[in-house]
Structure 1
Amino acid sequence: MHAKTNTAALTPLALKDAPALIETVFPAQKVSFEAQKERMSGRAQTLTGLGSFWKGRKPLILVRAIVLASLLPPTENPEADLALFEKLMAFDDESLARRALAANAFSVAKLQELIPIPEPERYFGARSWRRDITDDEKLVFYRQALATLASYEAKASIGKRPEEVDEEWLYAPAWSELNRHYAHLGINAHSFSELVEQLGILRYGRRPRVGDTFSGGGSIPFEAARLGCDTYASDLNPIACMLTWGAFNVIGTSAENRSYINEQQTKVAQAVDTEITELGIEHDEHGNRAKAYLYCLEARCPETGWLVPMAPSWIISRFKGVIAVLVPNHKERRFDIKIRSNASAEEIETAESGTVQGESLVYTIDGKVYRTSIRTIRGDYRLAAGETGNKLRPWRKEDFIPKEDDIYQERLYCIHWITKESLNKPRLNTFFAAPTDEDFKREQRVEKIVAENLKKWQELGLTPDMLIEAGYNTTQPIRERGWTHWHHLFNARQIQMLQCILRHGHTTNTWLSSLGILNLQSKLCAWHNDGRKGGLQNVFSSQALNTLYNWGSRGLVDLIDYIQLDTKLSPVRQSLNLTTTPAESLTENSDLWITDPPYADAVNYHEITEFFIAWLRKNPPEPFDKWVWDSRRALAIKGSGEEFRHSMVAAYKAMANHMPDNGMQCVMFTHQNTGVWSDLIGIFWAAGLQVVAAWYIATETTSELKKGGYVQGTVILMLKKRPAGERTGFKQRLLPAVRQEVVRQIESMLHLNDTVKAHHGEPVFNDSDLQMAGYAAALKVLTAYTHIGGEDVTTFALRPRTRGEVTVVDEMVQQAAETASNLLVPEALSTDTWAKLTGIERFMLRMLDMETTGAAKLDNYQNFAKAFHVEDYARVMGDMRPNHARLKRVSEYSSRDLTDSTEIGPTRLGRLIIALQQLSKDTEPQVIVDQMRNEMTDFLEARSVMVDMLAFIEQKSLDSETRSAAEVLGARLKNLRFGE
């Protein structure tokens, strides 16, 4: 550790009125890549161990970039500013080499393959480095090897993430350069905590304070505190507050305190294990222990009267060839379920189709297939008001298993066992088996324990007694299963185990660990049959409360690590002030507010976290007992429209009122609804804030659970207090001002791109960054005014919208997008040609240009389609998966895609696509040219534009046949003599 710097040498408030670096430069592309790298690291992410169910956390690397860039000042040399900032983020080449070395990214064989190494025996043994070779010596070769990789992504992907590398070693080269760069300010720092404190004194006269009033999973205050900022966090939701508390007090605590926590949680785990073992409910008579229990619903078919087990698939483990086989039991008019291992490929294929197929129950008896609608079994009916109901019995508070005459019954059909011999060994030996009579007796023993104790456990707060309140997500279990109380989402085994954990560990840490356990232990945990052994998914694999036909329950063996809070340790440098205050009731001050607020299509956390609140609300330990243990649905900011705008204005006005005049706000939002742009501007207007910058970061990752057109980008808006005084603007004057500011912003960024690209081969900003900067430039102009066209902006922002209304804000934002996009002329096209193209033509050529760089994010296509006024961009898309988006290839267009009734059909580019298709079918070039001349009334004027477009396609197309055809057709059009 370095000695604390003498901050007396600094001039307090010397940067009071200075802009922040993030207002001028920000390496958005590199931050995007690092954010996705962090996302893709799964449980290796620092905070996910506390609660992977909280999906809305922003990546820590993004938060770090925002905090640092908001504190650092720019100089007159933006290229040097950017280079230094990238060093502080570990994005520069030296840091990348260190990150790669920390990951042992190159074997000695690979190094010698990539670069010439004289006297290799001096450095290497047979297969590895010699022991006397230092890291500094290794770095020499790593720097050379990394220089052979073409892109930042290639270099960064092979190394560790910055937070995984020893901080003192990783950033050692940065401090001397930083101190030289800011010598005029008196900065002399050798660690982030020193740098942050010194910057805080220069800007605010003290160490800076970062606040977040929508703290969620806690990533914003946590990362700010790791950097050395004082922090404040609040959230209405007590579960969010628990996660934020845990980030600081479990992951961010000292090694000594963490050792104590581990010791206490181990005692809880041992006590629970002892009780369950003594009850004899998880071990069989041979000493094997259950890893998981598999259950399914059963329903009586009205056609045959048979009781039929329900599951979409009867494959248990595809890898091991384990399936469940239904054997008709004619005497009892039900099915016995046998578990078969080492099933043949044919048997596995048969088991793939379960008894639940779509909305039908499908089963076979004696070769005859029966199919009955599940709606019929459930007794669905339609009410007068257009709502639906069914004949499911509403479960009562004392229920935890179905009644004998309920439509749906529940059945244990398979147990995943750990052999006695492999218990307590690193590698478990497991097998699947159908439950025996003894297993069913153990199941009955658990049900008897719960039946005798449920009322008492509910009174003590060890088991929920809370009603499920109907809502967007919470109506589903009521409607689909008849469950009315939260404990109905758990079976007897799960209730018994969960109360046991809470009873033996009435501490903050056990309450915290219970969040992860609840996410793993309910009737909403689906069994997946892929992978080496199969396994159970989490409740919140998707942010919903999806009921299941078959599910699993974990044995204690599978939950021990969660009781023991087996998470990372990453100490924070400062403490946290945490409250459950609504954002609009804020009383705390911060210099920098960083928020990721709810918006348009936000997850309904206030509803789905009642799943956790129901278990923990009655008897929480200190300090959780001081919080409001309710989702406070009425206070939650949600949805869109009038209520959303009013709530957001109150929240952001409160934050503006609780920051200094030179303070800043950062608002992050992942936009799926483009209408939210206008809403947000109105909100900031009414809150007295002015947009000063916007950046676009790719933060989200795709998964099999995210099918369709999910936007994956986060917009970072930077705001300051609007200068005092009245300022009136009129539309006819604002439009030119917006255009001028957009041009100024884009041209300055393009200039920096060219400068950096000349030195390093890669630009700083991509098209999405530049387009977002165009939005920001417009918003910067607009939000500086207090009146637009004589109307007070607060009144304007909050007045109700009429359907289809296009406001002045909508017009300005749209014009900004168009102005920015028009400036982004692809390098291989002339400005003159670009000016003559239609919106759909610009869209297709711009996206073709982006595809050559490997860009495949669907949100890029969405953003540019909007900017170029493309009505139906999906019509020209060949793939619309979030991370694999692309345009149609020339060969993929059908004749109906290119008619005059489509956007692309009547255009010059549409005609060229037809021509290129004809060439690929061996039509003579001259015949094609003659057809074009006869069919196109503007052929003479269009020829030069088409020649330019064909040259572009020849250079950019990813299809070799199209490139060749474009070359032939372009040459024929270019050399055409009209006198012939």
Structure 2
Amino acid sequence: MVATPHAISLESFILKNTPALIERVFPAQKISAEAQKERKAGSGQTLTALGSYWKGRKPLILVRALILGSLLPATDDPEADLEIFEKLMAIDEAAFGRREPKLTAAQVAERIALVNPWDYFDYTLKGTKVDPTAIKALEFPCRLKDYPGLSVRWKREIAWADKQKLLAVALKGLSYPEKVALCKRPEECDPKTLYGPIWEAVNQHLGRFGIEVYSHEELVAQLGMLRFGQQPRVGDTFCGGGSIPFEAARLGCDVYASDLNPIACMLTWGALNIIGASPEEHAEITQVQQTVAESVDQEIMELGIEHNERGDRAKAYLYCLETRCPQTGWKVPLAPSWVISKTRNVYAKLVPNHAKKRFDIEVVSNASMVEMEAAARGTVQDGCLSYELGGKIYCTPIKTLRGDYRDENGVNRNRLRQWEKHDFMPRPDDTFQERLYCIQWITKETLSKSRQETYFASVTPEDLARERKVAHIVAKNLARWQEEGVVPDMAIEPGDKTDEPIRTRGWSYWHQLFFPRQILTSALLNKQASRLPEGLARAACVALFSKTLDYNSKLVQWAPSHETVNNSFGNQALNTIYNPPVRALHYQLGSARMDKIPTSKAIYRSVNIVSNHPAGNIDKQSSLWITDPPYADAIHYHEITEFFIAWLRKNPPAPFNNWIWDSRRALATQGSGDNFRRDMVAAYQAMADHMPDNGFQCVMFTHQDTGVWSDMASIFWAAGLQVIGAWYIATETSSELKKGGYVQGTVILILRKRSAGQQAGFKPRLLPQVRKEVGTQIQEMMHLNRRTEEHMGAPVFNDSDLQMAGYAAALKVLTGYTEIDGEDMTRLALRPRQKGEKTVVDAIVQQAAETANSLLVPEGLPPETWEAIGGIQRFYLRMLDMETTGASKLDNYQNFAKAFRVENYQAVMASQKPNAAQLKGAKDFKPRELAGTEIGETLLGQVLVGVQELLQEKDPPVVMGNLRDALSDYFQQRKHLQAIAQFIHDKLAKRRPEEARAAEIIASRVQTERL
């Protein structure tokens, strides 16, 4: 338990009205780097082990930062506040030495200067330890390559604390992202080792409030008492994958989590009770899960359906679809590729069988590179059935095979038979048949070994007999299993995502997304779990069973590079596959074994409530609400999670039985527009009603549609909330899932209840207030940037942070009013929007953006030149400056284009990849793009034309003559032309030296030219 604060009176909330640290300072860049490292961990992330199919989890490090930032007080020393916050987050300079950086002794010795290096390192020369007197002759830090044969190792007796200090020193000089890349995440480190050294400084800084603590849990408890008079409770009414409740509980907060979706509730419960289980609970779950697995394994063994005649056991079965070609009448197997294993050069060879007018499939091992390249070109290419027969290529569109057409209402349909409730495999006359073509076997000699040997084999008649046996078992038991609730009997409801299996395969019920083998093993597992006594272990087994479903359906893909079966939800859709694999039982169980689930420290056992209800139906108070709400392009979880709901809805164990096992699509907050705003207002109004007057709300959202920004502001307005701060965090990473223009940042809005009383304002008076607030906010942040850069070598905030602070400053002013220009803001927020309508709010927010950007003069450009230009020129030069820092995220370009009112920013973009966006250089523009266009008529455009001409080897005097002729006010604009050209040179000197030299020629000639 957390120690009772020794010097705090429950009647004295001395922090009740004290601003929180997050209202004043927040190291957004550092948190961004940490958040991205966590994202890049992939399956190594703490909560993905419960179900990676929930894609929307926010990084735990970000949640921790928001909670601590909301509880810690802002004092009269913001730099000291930030220093303590960073120590608590383990993102300060000294912490990196304790975060186990991947530096060898030699690398450390080469990076630091020590008077007595022999106290820390042992030096050997060609295997012989070097005498210390000889070492003194070396120069330190020494480059080992200068001393052939010299090697360095840590002394065995070196104290761990001393080693950590040296590691921290060795990391100095590296950028923050470089340090993060070399070190473990804070949550991967031992808490006592990582945080032990910080408590003296924490207590000294916070001692004025009577705080004395030696753990995060104690700190959270005492801060909660001082601010709220009780243990702080963190609420999240869109809990999703559970990252917010989990991290709050791990810090020592009480938790109130809710979601409309029962799968979200189950994942959140799992985070708190499986990953957060005590060692004793973890052992209990492991034992019960093992008992279930052994029982089902015994049934499978007795059925004899996973072993061959040698006694080898199957690991994976590879299936494909098969269809009859309308051109030849042959039955042709369908697969985009016939490669089975890239590491062992195994592929499936199609051998024509003229007697049966179909292809036999032969598994070939140790194939040549030529054969493997040919196998990679499967029989499904560019949406068509494509194959060779008798030296001729036949090609038929898949949509033709399905019989796609549009009905009289313009709805896409096809002529596939819609499967009926009792169907679990195709009928003989269906368009698409399912065919087993390869089995991966584990040799019987290595079945019990940790390192098993496997091989791939063609399908034999005996294998097909076992397939028929499985189908017979399923046919015999399916109706009873469905009645008992161990196999789904739920129809697939049409929807944006659920239309895919209906349209492409004719599947109408959820159990049809599973092969007979998958239905059999999942039914047996589900049945065994349902027989367990109520309690933690049964609920945990059911939660983990859902993960096996993710890896064992017709939606999974075979990965020939690693010989593995990927999960069904590699992205956020129900993608049907032409050649899906099936995991045999023990491989299926491996995806959700408790001993593979990462463990965290046992969740602090206070009050952790998980409820299943709409976001607006809140019935518990929370000191702090942290939410990651749905937005315009949100994932359709209400549809895709029906995949799991169908299996679990009839026999849910406690506490899951208290939830409604239905997706309740009609109640899901989704999309955008009027209904979206109404639902969100209800949710945030309920949160505001269920928090103390000095409580906070932190709202995270990632978006593409700029209209969502306006929607969210309106929602908070109508909910009686006032924006008091905003931060911008880069949370996403490059991924194939993010192709197509997804933004990569998360906006964090900090909100409090709006003060009581009717406050009316008018636009002419509001604009000066907005400009003043924006200016004050930007100047404060830039001052902190300068100070932290002096002490730490890097600024805290980047341009995106500063720009978002401008928006927040405007919203801080605006959301403090209830009426503007005679219009009630709540009514305006809920009123339906007309397409293209610009409200008074839009105008004021745009003014705030322009004010913010007028203060953000790119480094190296004279302020008077920045003032003289606008629009596309500011956008181009601002982004050129950002590119020199390595910034390449598309959302940066999108945000600044909006701020500078540049509608067609794409015209100056060479790349719009989400994580590799880039401006065009002078040579990337086509001549017509720099003539008579928005950018071509500007000073910047003329400089780019000049650079382009110099790159084409035109004489400089000719180029300068063209430049003078193009600008009627050339001589009045000379200083700005020179400044722009010099700026381009400075920013491109390292990246594109040819363009930089050309720009320098222009700058030099403009500067020296006589009038």
Category of TM-score, reference length = shorter chain: over 0.9
- In the superposition, the TM-score normalised over structure 2's length comes to 0.94
Structure 2 residue aligned with 1:965: 998
Structure 2 residue aligned with 1:395: 419
Q: How many residues in Structure 1 have an aligned counterpart in Structure 2?
A: 971
* SS of structure 2 residue aligned to 1:173: helix
Residues 175-214 of structure 1 aligned to structure 2 (within 5 Å):
175-214=199-238
Structure 2 residue aligned with 1:509: 540
Structure 1 residue aligned with 2:634: 602
> CA offsets, 1:356-405, max 9 Å, x none?
11221111111011111222211122200011211111101100000001
Rounded Cα–Cα distance in structure 2 between residues aligned with 1:699 and 1:140: 30
> CA offsets, 1:705-741, max 9 Å, x none?
3222110111000100000010111122222221121
Q: CA deviation at 1:661?
A: 0.6
Rounded Cα–Cα distance in structure 2 between residues aligned with 1:836 and 1:287: 82
Structure 2 residue aligned with 1:664: 696
* SS of structure 2 residue aligned to 1:271: helix
Structure 1 residue aligned with 2:571: 542
Structure 2 residue aligned with 1:621: 653
1:112 aligns with 2:109: yes
Rounded Cα–Cα distance in structure 2 between residues aligned with 1:563 and 1:315: 27
Q: CA deviation at 1:335?
A: 0.7
> CA offsets, 1:748-796, max 9 Å, x none?
1111111211222211100000011001000011101111222221111
> CA offsets, 1:319-377, max 9 Å, x none?
22111111111111111111112222221221222111122111111101111122221
Rounded Cα–Cα distance in structure 2 between residues aligned with 1:45 and 1:388: 40
2:177 is aligned, of 141, 147, 153, to 153
Q: Which runs of 5+ in 2 are unaligned?
A: 125-151, 531-537
* SS of structure 2 residue aligned to 1:411: strand
- The aligned amino acid for 1:146 is L
Q: Would the aligned equivalents of 2:714 and 2:826 in 1 still touch at CA under 8 Å?
A: yes
Rounded Cα–Cα distance in structure 2 between residues aligned with 1:34 and 1:194: 24
Rounded Cα–Cα distance in structure 1 between residues aligned with 2:114 and 2:302: 65
- The aligned amino acid for 1:449 is I
Rounded Cα–Cα distance in structure 1 between residues aligned with 2:86 and 2:835: 46
* SS of structure 2 residue aligned to 1:400: coil
Q: Would the aligned equivalents of 2:625 and 2:696 in 1 still touch at CA under 8 Å?
A: yes
Rounded Cα–Cα distance in structure 2 between residues aligned with 1:755 and 1:49: 41
Rounded Cα–Cα distance in structure 2 between residues aligned with 1:892 and 1:11: 68
2:589 is aligned, of 538, 555, 560, to 560
Q: Which runs of 5+ in 1 are unaligned?
A: none
Q: Would the aligned equivalents of 1:12 and 1:204 in 2 still touch at CA under 8 Å?
A: no
Rounded Cα–Cα distance in structure 2 between residues aligned with 1:8 and 1:822: 47
Structure 2 residue aligned with 1:167: 191
- The aligned amino acid for 1:688 is G
1:139 is aligned, of 164, 167, 180, to 164
Decide whether aligned partners of structure 1 residues 445 and 118 sit closer, same or farther in structure 2, where only a CA change above 3 A counts.
Answer: farther
Decide whether aligned partners of structure 1 residues 560 and 617 sit closer, same or farther in structure 2, where only a CA change above 3 A counts.
Answer: same
1:130 aligns with 2:159: no
Rounded Cα–Cα distance in structure 2 between residues aligned with 1:809 and 1:720: 20
1:838 aligns with 2:882: no
1:308 aligns with 2:332: yes
Q: CA deviation at 1:210?
A: 0.5
* SS of structure 1 residue aligned to 2:316: strand
Structure 2 residue aligned with 1:927: 958
Q: Would the aligned equivalents of 1:248 and 1:575 in 2 still touch at CA under 8 Å?
A: no
Residues 938-977 of structure 1 aligned to structure 2 (within 5 Å):
938-957=969-988, 958-977=991-1010
Structure 1 residue aligned with 2:557: 526
Rounded Cα–Cα distance in structure 2 between residues aligned with 1:433 and 1:953: 62
Rounded Cα–Cα distance in structure 1 between residues aligned with 2:786 and 2:118: 43
* SS of structure 2 residue aligned to 1:407: coil
Structure 2 residue aligned with 1:31: 31
Q: Would the aligned equivalents of 2:439 and 2:457 in 1 still touch at CA under 8 Å?
A: yes
Structure 1 residue aligned with 2:812: 780
> CA offsets, 1:626-645, max 9 Å, x none?
11000011111011001000
Residues 400-419 of structure 1 aligned to structure 2 (within 5 Å):
400-419=424-443
1:850 is aligned, of 862, 882, 897, to 882
Q: Would the aligned equivalents of 1:54 and 1:217 in 2 still touch at CA under 8 Å?
A: yes
> CA offsets, 1:674-722, max 9 Å, x none?
1001111111111000000010001112212322211011100010000
Q: CA deviation at 1:504?
A: 1.6
Q: CA deviation at 1:280?
A: 1.3
Q: Would the aligned equivalents of 1:265 and 1:563 in 2 still touch at CA under 8 Å?
A: no
Q: Would the aligned equivalents of 1:600 and 1:638 in 2 still touch at CA under 8 Å?
A: yes
Rounded Cα–Cα distance in structure 2 between residues aligned with 1:705 and 1:353: 24
1:916 aligns with 2:940: no
> CA offsets, 1:440-495, max 9 Å, x none?
11111111110110001101111000000111111111111110000000010000
Q: Would the aligned equivalents of 1:211 and 1:590 in 2 still touch at CA under 8 Å?
A: yes
* SS of structure 2 residue aligned to 1:547: coil
Q: Would the aligned equivalents of 2:942 and 2:966 in 1 still touch at CA under 8 Å?
A: no
- The aligned amino acid for 2:938 is T
Structure 2 residue aligned with 1:877: 909
* SS of structure 1 residue aligned to 2:18: coil
Q: Would the aligned equivalents of 1:312 and 1:549 in 2 still touch at CA under 8 Å?
A: yes
Decide whether aligned partners of structure 1 residues 663 and 299 sit closer, same or farther in structure 2, where only a CA change above 3 A counts.
Answer: same
Q: CA deviation at 1:819?
A: 1.3
Structure 1 residue aligned with 2:358: 334
- The aligned amino acid for 2:656 is F
> CA offsets, 1:78-132, max 9 Å, x none?
1111111111111111101111xx24x2111212222245555543456643332
Decide whether aligned partners of structure 1 residues 487 and 653 sit closer, same or farther in structure 2, where only a CA change above 3 A counts.
Answer: same
Decide whether aligned partners of structure 1 residues 893 and 669 sit closer, same or farther in structure 2, where only a CA change above 3 A counts.
Answer: same
Q: CA deviation at 1:575?
A: 3.7
Residues 414-563 of structure 1 aligned to structure 2 (within 5 Å):
414-506=438-530, 507-529=538-560, 531=561, 533-563=562-592
- In the superposition, the TM-score normalised over structure 1's length comes to 0.97
Rounded Cα–Cα distance in structure 1 between residues aligned with 2:475 and 2:791: 74
- The aligned amino acid for 1:310 is L
Rounded Cα–Cα distance in structure 1 between residues aligned with 2:513 and 2:2: 53
- Of all paired residues, the percent bearing the same amino acid is 57
Rounded Cα–Cα distance in structure 1 between residues aligned with 2:191 and 2:238: 29
> CA offsets, 1:212-245, max 9 Å, x none?
0010111101101111111100111110111111
Q: Would the aligned equivalents of 1:9 and 1:186 in 2 still touch at CA under 8 Å?
A: no
Rounded Cα–Cα distance in structure 2 between residues aligned with 1:961 and 1:217: 50
Question: Is 437-446 or 311-320 further displaced after alignment?
Answer: 311-320
- The aligned amino acid for 1:546 is N
- The aligned amino acid for 1:111 is V
Structure 2 residue aligned with 1:818: 850
- CA RMSD between the two structures: 1.5
- The aligned amino acid for 2:98 is R
1:348 aligns with 2:372: yes
Q: Would the aligned equivalents of 1:12 and 1:203 in 2 still touch at CA under 8 Å?
A: no
* SS of structure 2 residue aligned to 1:347: helix
Q: Would the aligned equivalents of 2:234 and 2:254 in 1 still touch at CA under 8 Å?
A: yes
* SS of structure 1 residue aligned to 2:738: coil
* SS of structure 1 residue aligned to 2:193: helix
Rounded Cα–Cα distance in structure 2 between residues aligned with 1:941 and 1:430: 78
1:749 is aligned, of 772, 776, 781, to 781
